[in-house]
Amino acid sequence: MTAMSEFKAVLKRVNTCSAKILRNGSADDFRANRFSLEQTNYPDIEGETWTLTLVQMKKITDSQVENKTITIIVPYGAENGNFSITDVNKGIHLDFVDSSDAEPYIYIAEKGSVNLTFERKGTELSTISGKFDVTVGTYDIPSFRISGDLYYSK
């Protein structure tokens, strides 16, 4: 028996989220390096929800860390598909926070779309994948665009 005959390859897809943040005339890369998926109760969506949190954590100095966070909240029983975000019908919630802003705000998706595929193990959501292209904003601060791809599996 040769060493090659005993070799077995196991491929596992790695959790990933990469996006472009088009803000203030520049394009910044977002690459999540922290992920979480938990069952929650989000007040703007009726019933139970799933909250996917995607964080890009970057060490600036020994005592300073910069976090950029994208949060996607979907209804518990959401089905695969395209979720359109408009002023009156959101269906899901997406927001963005950048701790490096002089005054960090929660920028909420105002328009755009999020296309998601869900896989479940029993009733538990185990995998979310898809694309998003949204405009986020808050109060009197100019809106900006975030576009990206994601894959998360527990």
- Residue 58 belongs to a domain: yes
Domain count of the fold of the chain: 1
The set of residues, in sequence order, having a beta carbon less than 8 Å from that of 150 and lying 6+ positions away, is 16, 17, 32, 52, 54, 72, 128, 129, 130, 131, 132
Task: Indicate whether 5 belongs to any domain.
Answer: no
Q: What is the pTM of this model?
A: 0.88
Instruction: Evaluate whether residue 40 is within a structural domain.
Output: yes
Q: Parallel, antiparallel, or unpaired for β 124-138 and 93-98?
A: unpaired
101 in a domain, yes or no? yes
pLDDT digits (tens, 9 = 90+) for 53-77: 999 999 888 888 899 999 999 999 9
Please list, in sequence order, all residues whose beta carbon lies within 8 angstroms of the beta carbon of residue 37, skipping any fewer than 6 positions away: 50, 51, 52, 53, 125, 128, 152, 154
Q: Which two tokens stand for residue 8?
A: 């077995």
pLDDT tens, 19-40? 999 999 999 999 999 999 999 9
Specify if 6 maps to a domain: no
Q: Within a domain: residue 43? A: yes
> Which domain does 60 fall in, by range?
14-153
pLDDT (average), residues 43-49:
85
Assigned domain for 94 exists: yes
DSSP state of 140: T
82 within domain boundaries: yes
